[in-house]
Each structure stands twice: as C-alpha cells, then as structure tokens.
Amino acid sequence: MSLMRRLERDQNEEPKKPVTRPIEKPENGNDSGGSRLTNLRPSRPGGATPAGRTSYTDLKTRVQTRLLSEVDVTMDVSKLDEIRRTIQDLFEKILVEENIVITRPERQRLLEQITDEILGYGPLQPLLADSSISEIMVNGYQSVYVERGGRLYRTPLKFESNEHVMRIIDRIVSPLGRRVDEQSPYVDARLPDGSRVNAVIPPISLTGPVLTIRKFSKDPITIDQLIGFGSISPEAVLFLKACVEANLNVVISGGTGSGKTTLLNVLSTFIPADQRIVTIENAAELQLRQDHVVTLETRPSNVEGSGAITAQQLVVNALRMRPDRIIVGEIRAGEALDMLQAMNTGHEGSMTTAHANSPRDVLSRIETMTLMAGYELPIRAIREQVASAIDLIVQVDRMRDGSRKVVNITEVLGMEGDVITLMDIFVFEQSGFEEGKIMGQMLPTGLRPGFMDRFEAAGIHIPTTLFGAGQRPRY
C-alpha cells in the first residue's frame, strides 16, 4: 500500500488528528478508494534546468516531482514528525545533487510549500493555521481573500492554476464520501477540525473553482469572551442561561456570518451534563462539550442519484433515540415541521438556527419551510404549531463595523386572531458611531416574560430587576 493511501486511511480512521491529511484521488476518473503520490506530480517533465534560468514555480515543481518519486512508501504514516524529517532530508539532498542555489529564506519557504502540498492543503495551509483568520475565500486560482475582525482583506497567495484549486477541493471532500464534478458542481463539506467548507466549480462558477472555508476556533468561544467582545450583556446571558436550563425551545436567527452557530455552541454549554443530546447538521460543526452527545450528519446522493439522507429524515429518526434535547444546526426546508412536532411532543429544550432578518421574519420563514414538507396544511394550523412550539427567538446581526451582536431577545407569546404575538425582553440600542465602531448596549425593555413560572418550577430564581423593573436604564 502506498504512503498516500495509508495517509488517507489513517485520516479516515482517526479524523481528529490535525496533521493527517488525505491526498487527492486519481485523476484518471477511477476512484479506487485512496489517493496516489503520483497525483501530486506536475504534468510537465522535471528537467535539469539551472536554478538561475528557471522560475520559482518551475523549481518547486521539479523538486516536488523528484521528492515524491524518492519518498519511501514503507514509512509508518502514524509518525508524521518522522515523515516531515524524511521529507526535509530528501529535500536538502535534492538541492545538493541538482546544484540548486537559493537563499535560506527561499529554501525554507520552498520546503514549507512542498510539505503543505503533500501533507496539507497547499497554499491554504498557512491561512488555516492563522488563528486570527475567521474565513477564507478562494475566487479562482489567482484571488484569495480572508476575513479578520469582521473585515475582508486580499492576500498575496495564489494557486498555480484552476486545476491546482480543484485538487485541493477534491482532497477536502473525498474523505467525506462527497464529490464535486460537472454533474454535481457544488458541495458542502467540512475539515477535520469542524471548519465549514463550500465549493462551487464550473460550469456554474464563471470565475473558476470557488472555495469558501468558515473556520472554527480550536478553542471554542466562551460566554465570557462574547461579553468581552460586546456581543451580549451579562444580564442577557443570565436570562438565556435560565431559559436553557428551564427547557425552553430556542430559535437563533440572523444573516449569513452573523454568529448563529457560535451562539448556539455557547448556549449549549448551559445544558445539564446528565441529559442526552442528539445533534443534526448538514456538515458537523457544533462543538458541544457534554459527554452524552450523539452527532448525526446528512448525506448527499451518490453518483446514481440515490442514497441521500435529509435533515428531515434524521429529525424523525432522532425521535426514536430517546433524546432529552434535539439540536438542529440549521433548519432550511421540510425538517422545520418535524422540529416543531418534536418541540410540541415532549422534547422541550430543543434549539436550532435559521436565516432571517428579524424575529418576525423568522416566523414567516418557518411557516414557508413547514409548507416545504409537502403537506397541505392551513396557515392558521401552522402558526398555532409555531406559537406553541417556540418559546424564545434570539436575533443576532453582523453590524456594519464587522462586529456581531445579539440585537433582540424576543418571547413568542401566542396567537391573537391569526397573528403570532411577540414581545421583546432585551433590545440592543445604538448610541453612536465612533472611530469606526458602533457604540451601544443591550437593554431590558422593562417587560417580564410570561414563562417566569417555568423558571420557578425548575428552581431557577431570576430577580425582577434583571428586566428593568418597569424602567429602562439610561446611558
């Protein structure tokens, strides 16, 4: 068995090892279940052109081609430090034998890039290792952007070609049993650390292969950090903690990149450790810290167009798994109906996220998604289910300065006629805009929620002063 095959097998068996990276599958169209070292070799022949008359890319290609041909395939793939040392020794040997003279910084950069190509994700590897980067966007092989602190920056990094980007995409999605080609030109996937990946390729992408990676911190963000960032107030945190402990059903809504999943991760830390949690996601990215957690992940259809497992099917199956809590990473379609049914039939304390611009909008979206389940239900019946199932809506927004903030914590009161009534408990109020930063704070509205009795029944005591006691504080 080749070194690359064993590297990929080791990755599949132990996905949590961060340095064990699968290498791309064969380019001849026959997926034999593993990748080959030869796939990383460039198409152009490696000649003995003097270093002074060759470009940096040609030099990298030549050295990488010869190095791959000389790697000992019998090496123990579980000892990656030993593999790296072997690659470095061979690299130095090749430079000496071919009389290639380059500066020390160039030598180190060349070694790092070749090692990343073999064991990592090529040019993306240093970006993935940079903890200050929250998102990576590849728009074709010559354009790579990153997000830092909520703002976008273009990097000087480039791929060799669109085919190079395709190899990296294939290296990401293949170990997950997913594919991306002309028949299926877009795919959702994840990295071993849980980072979310989306890839779109031609013919639907006119700029070449497009790759978007939403990174997740190795150390999950804590509630204290959210407070320190100004994303939420301590009083609102105390209230949300009580809501989770009292088994209220919570929907977190917001736009793309607003921090919905991050907040869901934080709220999940308030779930008691003695409860059984079942999570359902399209790409597993939640980082729950409890011991008794069962993670389910959807599956796309195979080459024949069959074998797909939807979130709706997983929600139905989760009801048979004796869950205390069901957490759906995001509701997008017909699974909304089954989620509402679960919330209304004894699975209290469930949580999910949804894309919406306001608490009122998320109710409309859930109505629409419920109809996508394929049942012709009266709108009033759907709204009654929504009003009965959902207790609280937490709205998060990405502000114009790049910060993410909780802007509404809203109670779902019930039905009045044909309308679902809502009541804000906490609202973010902006006081100004100074030095490129939004100023303001989250304030209580002075209204007490209608489920205070559920707090008392759970043995949770919330002081009435938390809600402003009828008078909103000034700042």
**CATH number for the domain harbouring residue 433:** 3.40.50.300
Q: Is 473 inside a domain boundary?
A: no
Task: Reply yes or no on whether the pLDDT at 22 is more than 80.
Answer: no
For residue 181, the number of C-alpha atoms closer than 13 Å in the C-beta half-sphere is 9
Task: Reply yes or no on whether the pLDDT at 179 is more than 50.
Answer: yes
Asked if 284 and 261 count as a contact pair (C-beta separation under 8 A), the reply is: no
CA–CA–CA angle 430, 221, 397 (5° rounding):
30
- β-bridge pairing 392-398 and 404-416: antiparallel
pLDDT band of 72, cuts 50, 70, 90: low
CA–CA–CA angle 460, 445, 390 (5° rounding):
60
Task: Reply yes or no on whether the pLDDT at 447 is more than 70.
Answer: yes
**Encoded tokens for 134:** 């929250």
- Name the residue range of residue 16's domain: 1-120
Most confident of 94-98, 213-217, 449-453: 449-453
What CATH number should be reported for the domain holding residue 158? 3.30.450.370
Least confident of 1-10, 184-193, 326-335, 347-356: 1-10
Whether residues 111 and 147 fall in one domain: no
Q: Is 140 inside a domain boundary?
A: yes
Q: Is 113 inside a domain boundary?
A: yes
pLDDT value for 92 = 80
Whether residues 197 and 333 fall in one domain: no
Whether residues 207 and 153 fall in one domain: yes
Whether residues 155 and 259 fall in one domain: no
**Residues 282-309, mean pLDDT to the nearest whole number:** 82
Task: Reply yes or no on whether the pLDDT at 33 is more than 60.
Answer: no
**Residues 169-191, mean pLDDT to the nearest whole number:** 85
Q: Is 440 inside a domain boundary?
A: yes
Residue 269 parent element (H or E): none
Q: Which of 120, 141, 163 is the last residue of a domain?
A: 120
pLDDT value for 68 = 66
Residue from 374, 325, 379, 316 nearest 352 by CA: 325
Task: Reply yes or no on whether the pLDDT at 20 is more than 60.
Answer: no
Q: State the total domains in the chain.
A: 3
Whether residues 351 and 388 fall in one domain: yes
The whole-model pTM stands at 0.73
Whether residues 229 and 344 fall in one domain: yes
Whether residues 171 and 29 fall in one domain: no
Whether residues 233 and 366 fall in one domain: yes
Q: Which of 171, 197, 216 is the last residue of a domain?
A: 216
* 227 DSSP assignment: H
pLDDT band of 50, cuts 50, 70, 90: very low
Asked if 20 and 35 count as a contact pair (C-beta separation under 8 A), the reply is: no
Q: Is 35 inside a domain boundary?
A: yes
